[in-house]
Structure formats: structure tokens, C-alpha cells
Amino acid sequence: MKGRGIGFGKAILFNEHFVVYGIPSIVSAIGNYTVAHIEPYEKPEINLIDNRKATPQYKEDKYEQQHDSLNRILTKMNIDPKKQGLAITLEGNLYAASGIGASAASCVAIARALNQFYNMNLKDEEINEIAYEGEKGYHGNPSGVDNTASTYGGLIWFQKGDQNEIERIEIPNPIEIVIGNTGKIANTKAAVAGVRERKENNPRKYEEIFDRAENITYLAKQALEDEDHKEIGKLMNENHKLLQQIEVSSKELDFLVNIARENGALGAKLTGGGLGGNMIALTPKRELQERVATSIEKEGFQTIKTVIGATRGGYEG
């Protein structure tokens, strides 16, 4: 008896942080993924083996959050490891780092693997709900956007509410991107709490920023559907400026964003929780993607070369 599940990484193209307050965001699954394998374990407990490649210290720093997350998933699925011990192994080609949906990908992968192991026949919608519960262990009050992209794949319009609005955005062709890793582990809980505090202390300033962020998403959706890469890039740059204004960027992120733009990226911005983690650069066509990735790597930073907008089918478990 075995179980296997897969969860894809993600890149938020527009409106991380703003999404927590009901502002629409646009997110894409990326081609890199986490796989969870589940087998019976001889002791009545969970044996978690994490074989993912990771930013140094990432797994150690996230250890307690990871176990909180796993307990939440098991509780949500009514699984008692004391009755049936489980060995859970995580692997795959998604680097465990801040800002690319590593925690959500692992939550989705584990939920799918458990679903297969116990023959639960859960639908994607239910897998997404379980993964969202798991994300609370990492993020406290997550928006739900990461686990949604990891579960459904493709390019998604996401708006948080009493009933989350999830709409697939269809684009004519996938677009090449480069993700640059600062190597700095970000605390998303702290970043979210900081924005909330500053927003309460300066409501007028933040209202103006949030209004502009909302406007950008609608323009970006249209630009994506029209394959207007220059406009998408321009809006990404503007979105990064807004994220700087709410103080969730960092000197490392700004450094990588500037390198990407100087080497031809049509747009670049932080992606994910900020204060470290990853940035994303829009680099249509392989040649530009290669140039931007090389320029970031020359400065000693790791990159992922992937695409956004690819529809992902055939999820297991």
C-alpha cells in the first residue's frame, strides 16, 4: 500500500500581500514541483523524510511550522497516525525556498498522497481545502492563493472573500520567466503582520496604494490575454514599487530586480512574502531568459528558468 502526490510551485505575478485584504491577485503555477511518497511505517507515528534541495537553513527554520502544518492536514483528513504509522518522503525539483510556494506545494503533494494511500477519492476542490489548512501552519492567516495555484495549475485570477473567487486566465502561449533566489529565508507571518500594523497606523497612505494595486491587476489580466509582454512588464515594475512602499522588499530583492531589468527583462519584482526569498523577471523567449538568468548567477545567486501560463493536467492522487 503506497501513496504518491504532486504539488507545483508558484510565482505570484501581481499583488502578494494586497491579496490578504481582498484585492485581486494573479498567480501562476510553475513547472517545478514537489512529490510526496507515503508508505506504512512500523511505529505508530509519522516519520517525515525531507529530501528536497533547499536554501541553507530553510528546512531547519521551518521545522516547527512544517510539523504544525502536517498535524493540521492529518486532523482535517481525520487520519490518526497512532492507528497506522506513516513514512512520508518529500522530493522533487522544486527548491525549498521562500517565495515560490514551497510550503503550499508540499501541502498539496502530501494531501494528494494521503488521498491515494487511503483511497479517499477526493476532488481537487477538497485537496485545495486540506492544503489551505496545512498552509496555516506556515503562514498563520494565508490568503489561499499559493495552495490554489499548486492544486489547479495554470494561470489564475484569485480574490479572497467569504467565497474565494478563482478564475483561470487563458493566455495564447506560455511565457518564459526567471526566478532569482536571494538566499535569504523570509518570515511570511512577520511580513504580513508588519503590513497590517503599518496599514492601521497610516490608513490614508495605504488606501491609495491598495487602490492602485487593484487597478494594476485588471490591466495586467487584459495584457496577459492580449500577449502584450511590454505592458505586463511595465505593470510588474509598478507593482514592485507599491510593494516597496508597503515595506516588504529588501535590499537583496531590489538588487536582483535591478540586475534583471538592466539585462533586458521586460519587468521584474519580488514574488511571495518578500523581506527575502525570491524575485521574478519577465523574459519572453529563451535567449532573453538565458541572458537574465546568467547575469543573476554571475552575482552568485541561484535561479530557476521556467514558464508561466502552462496548463498542467494529469495530477495524481
DSSP letters, 4-29, are EEEEEEEEEEE-TTGGGGT--EEEEE
Give the global pTM.
Answer: 0.82
Distance CA 141, CA 151 (A): 19
- CB count within 10 Å of CB 297 equals 13
The pLDDT assigned to 12 comes to 93
The pLDDT assigned to 311 comes to 60
> Reading across the β-sheet that carries 278-282, which strands appear in turn?
267-271, 278-282, 175-181, 302-308
Q: Which part of the chain has CATH 3.30.70.890?
A: 175-308
The pLDDT assigned to 314 comes to 35
Q: Assign domain 175-308 to a CATH class.
A: alpha beta
The pLDDT assigned to 55 comes to 87
Residue 177 and residue 289 in contact, taking contact as beta carbons nearer than 8 Å: yes
Mean per-residue pLDDT pooled into runs of 10, the chain (317 residues): 94 94 94 94 96 92 95 97 95 88 96 98 96 94 87 91 89 93 87 95 97 98 97 98 98 98 98 92 97 98 90 43
- Burial level of 242, CB count in 10 A (0-12/13-18/19+)? buried
The pLDDT assigned to 86 comes to 97
The catalytic position among 61, 146, 211, 226 is 146
Q: Which fold has domain 3-168?
A: Ribosomal Protein S5; domain 2 (3.30.230)
The pLDDT assigned to 144 comes to 86
Distance CA 69, CA 138 (A): 7
Does 146 participate in catalysis according to the annotation?
Answer: yes
Residue 281 and residue 293 in contact, taking contact as beta carbons nearer than 8 Å: no
Q: Which part of the chain has CATH 3.30.230.10?
A: 3-168
The pLDDT assigned to 189 comes to 81
